[in-house]
Structure formats: structure tokens, C-alpha cells
Structure 1
Amino acid sequence: MSVKEQVCSLSIGIVLFPNVTQLDFTGTYEVFARLPNAQLYLLAQTLEPIRSDGGLTFLPDTTFTQAPALDVLFVPGGPGINGKMEDEKFLEFLKIQGKQARYVTAVCTGSLLLAAAGLLQGYRATTHWLSLDLLEMLGVETVAERVVIDRNRITGSGVTAGIDFGLALAAELFGDAIAQAIQLGIEYNPQPPFNSGSPQTAPAPVLARVTAASQNVQEIRRQIVQRVVTQLQTTNKLNHIYFA
């Protein structure tokens, strides 16, 4: 029986953390909220308000310890991932939920968090274009596409791709007709005023400006990723010795 046929009540967990990028998950939330029989959980380590990187504040409704087993684990990105990539309790929650979830998903740099938890090794995935090389450092086969589906791993690229990702998952779960109805309902009909939404189409001076402006941030993140890679390699070696 396919997932489309057997879904009766769908539990979707949206993982929040300080300095999350709000559009990474709010665009997706608009799609998820229209899925049939879906129960959405805004998950965080505590129920304290979560402030996004842009200053908006959100209220989680479920703590990690209260969370049910999830059908869909969804992780957005944002500047706040830097601290969470080395947060053992945070990563342990992702590991536990990711092992049993029907779908393990992320948008933007949320993919780095999944990879830091060991949930993307052996899968194809994407992330924000500025961090594709960092995702590759974490042992993931990267693909520079808007949405990447590899078995039960679904990832979206940067920020606005959250809506595309949400619709792709809706189609996986309930079929194209439901996904298309949701798209029409939210009037998702993008007609951007400029063709500069990717490094392949942006004018060279614009690309150079954005790349230069993010250089320091990306270097700090690269150092974090390198520490995470070292930790993952050490853990894998210990596991190999233990189970040999």
C-alpha cells in the first residue's frame, strides 16, 4: 500500500531554534497546514519564544521531550544552525526522530543539521547555494537543484524553496491533484521582477557582492563543519572498532 493510500493522520514536526530564518519554515507551513488530516508541531528544546534571524518571534507548542513519533521531520535553516551543529542534545533528537520518520526533510541550511546528525550520509541532497560545499564536506552527495528527492529524504535549496519543497512533499504524500489544489489556494505563481535568484542567473557584480558579504559568516561556519566532520569520523571509527 502506498503512502498516499495509507495516510490517515499525519504528524509533522517543524524544528525551531533561535536565529532560524522564518521564511524557511513559514512558507512551508502554509503548505503543510492545508494537508488533509495533518497535525503540525512547532518543536523546540523549550517552550520559550523563538526569535528568528529577522526579528520575528514564534511560540513553540511542543518540546523535544513531549514530541510524538513523527511521520515527517522537517528542519529549516538560518544563522542559528551554527550552534546547533555542535549541540549534542539537539542532534540526538534529530537522530531519534529521523530513524523512524516516514520522511526526513530540510530546507536551506537545515540540511547541514541533518547531515551533522548523520541523517544524510548516502543520500543526495541540496541546501542554500552558499553552503553546498559545506554539505559536501559532511559526506553528502550535493545537487544544485530547487528540490531534491532521494527515497525518503527530501531537501530544498535556499529560503524561498520552502514552498516548492512543501508542494513536492504534498505530492509525495497525497498525489499531484492535492498539491496543485494547495498551490492554487495559496496562489503560488512566482513572477520575480529580476532573474537573479540563483548564482547561475545573477549578474556577475551581484554574485560577487553577495559572495563577498557572506565570506566571514561562511568561514566561521566552515570551521564548525570541519569540527563536526572530525567528530563524525571519530564516532564512525569507534563504532567500527566496537562492532568489528
Structure 2
Amino acid sequence: MQLAIVIFEGFTALDAIGPNQVLAHTPGIDPVIVAEQPGPVLDNRTLTVVAERGLADVPRPDVVVVAGGVPAVHRATEDDPIVRWLAQVAPTTTWMTSVCTGSLLLGAAGLLRGRRATSHWYTLDRLSAFGATPVEDRYVVDGRVITAAGVSAGIDMALDLAARLSDPHMAQMLQLDLEYAPSPPPSTPAPRAAHPPRSPPACARCTTRSWAPRPRRPTGDRGPPVARPVTMVAPRHRGRILLGEVVVNARESNGPQVSGVRCLHCQGTDLVVEEARLPTKWNARTHLIELHVCQGCRFVMPFYVKKSWVTNN
């Protein structure tokens, strides 16, 4: 039975390695790491995993595990190569599974419509857009589709899947071999308690105007610096997903000052603009690329900004 573990650039390593560690030791399972093209694939930090095969090399897998990661949020569209491949192989598979935000890719492939499903707590609400019913469980089994919550939940899902593919005793032996008995610090709250759900912001291009107009000044009198709320969107999104609303003070001598942006990884607010440059494929006369780096976890978030928002006109 062939097991295809699907990864992509920027994936979360434990999403793939956790299930692989469990299922690779399940009798009768032949695991293979799959990416768009065979070769090394960098995760969201410093780990490189070698994909043995490309999508085209695995036309009929028996079991599919889709890893997650921040890029999965942006890739959850019908024209994405991984999404198209998932929709193509799904009819002949025994199990379609995902870990973390990998469920968004299953949703974009049309595999969660009318099903109960889960995802990372930060993106759980997005499942509704794919016709799924979001469930706040560690993992959810609905028919032949299993979705796991964030990162470490992939091990729980894999142990359940191992019991279904082999037998419960084998799953117990695998759990014992892994010494998998989570006991986190008692002070660690559940994700929903640590970060209560909030309404997602509106899309930058679905609103008529997402920043406040500048107050008029008398001719010849520039007045004091004016801080204006503007919308910043990651360049790959092309306006489809709003990441944060910030305040840019255009009159600061040391460049634009931002506030109000949260790190997508650790939810920290201590972000610094470490680089601003002209994009290579965007209108260089009107846009800049800014790299916002979280000082807590060093997560990097790119944004594009209209020059007119950060210049003194």
C-alpha cells in the first residue's frame, strides 16, 4: 500500500515527519515523500527534506497525507498544482488525510464539502469557505477523510490511521515505541484560550477604501507628521488575503514606522522592517517590498506597499 506524504516549500516539518515516523513502521505501508518536483524541499525554518518523487510520478497512491504550513493558506486555490493533483488522485485512494493547514488544500480540491473537518486553530474558520463544518477536535474522521489539527496533532491522526490500516494492537506498539505520552507544562493554555477567535479582516480589494483620507493642509504649510492607517498585503496574495492593517508614519526621518501587525507564527507584535526594496515583477514606480521580521521567533513576512502611502506629498 503506497503512502504519499505531500510537502511543499515552507511546509512545517513535523506535519510530515510525525505521520511518517508512525506510518513508515506500519506493516504493509510503503511511504514516499512527494513534492511538485523531486529534489530537496526547504521547510519553514532550516530543515531540508528530499522529495523522492514528483506529483506526476505518483498517479495512484493508496493513502495521502498532506502536510501544512503558512504557504498552504496561500496555495488553497483550484489552480494550484498540489490541489489539482489531490482532486485527481482522490477517487482511487483509500484514505485522504491532512495535518494542520493541509486541510485547506483538501478543501480547495473539493474533498471537504459536506464533511466535518479541523485545521490549525488559526485557520479553522477558513474551512467553512470550502463547504466543511469546522470542528475543534484533535483530529476528525469523516468517511475516508481524516483531518488533524495543528502540527503535533498529526501524530495522533497517524496512530489512529495505523490502527485502521493494521490493527489497534500495532498502533499501541508504535505509540509505546515512540514513547508518545504528551504531558505539556500545566501552565500552557489551550490554543483557543490563549488566542480567542476574532473576526477575519476584510479583503483589501473588497472594500472601497481601506485607509483613512489625509486631512487637508493649508497651502505652503506642511504641518506636523500625519500617521495614516493603510492596508498591507503579502505580494503573493495579490489582494486576496489581508494579513494586517498597520499605521505608517510617512514623516519619520528613519523611514516608515509600522504598528498593528501580528506575526503569523507566534502572534507577537514586535516586528521590525529589516529591508525595503523594489519588486522585480511588480510596478516598480508605485510599489515597494518590505520584509517584516518578528523579533520573537524571527519569522519573516513580506508585504507590498504603495509608495504614495509612505512618501511626503
State TM-score, norm by structure 2: 0.61
Residues 1:106 and 2:98 are matched in the alignment? yes
Q: Is the 8 A contact 2:113 2:132 kept in 1?
A: yes
Q: Is the 8 A contact 1:137 1:225 kept in 2?
A: no
- Considering fraction of residues, name the structure with more helix: 1
Higher relative contact order (CA 8 A, sep 6+): 1
- The share of aligned pairs that are identical, in percent, is 36
Residues 1:13 and 2:4 are matched in the alignment? yes
Q: Is the 8 A contact 1:134 1:225 kept in 2?
A: no
| Equivalence for 2:33 | 42
Unaligned runs of 5+ in 2: 199-232, 243-313
Give the 3-state SS of the residue equivalent to 2:51 in structure 1: coil
Counterpart Cα distance in 1 of 2:240 and 2:82:
16
Counterpart Cα distance in 1 of 2:69 and 2:38:
19
Counterpart Cα distance in 1 of 2:83 and 2:56:
13
Deviation for aligned residue 1:123:
1.1
Counterpart Cα distance in 2 of 1:169 and 1:195:
31
| Equivalence for 2:123 | 131
Q: Is the 8 A contact 2:73 2:101 kept in 1?
A: no
Moved over 6 A (4+): none
Amino acid at match of 2:106: L
Closer/same/farther in 2, CA of residues 197 and 56 from structure 1, 3 Å limit: farther
- Considering fraction of residues, name the structure with more strand: 2
Q: 1:117 aligns with which of 99, 109, 115?
A: 109
Q: 1:162 aligns with which of 147, 154, 176?
A: 154
Task: Flag the structure with larger Rg.
Answer: 2
Amino acid at match of 2:191: P
Q: RMSD of the alignment, in Å?
A: 2.3
Q: 2:190 aligns with which of 190, 194, 198?
A: 198
Instruction: Note the alpha carbon deviations across 1:144-201, whole angstroms, 9 max, x for none.
Output: 0001011101110000101101001111111211110100011101111235352345
Counterpart Cα distance in 1 of 2:91 and 2:189:
34
- Please show how residues 169-208 of structure 1 align to structure 2 within 5 Å: 169-196=161-188, 198-202=190-194, 207=195
| Equivalence for 1:67 | 58
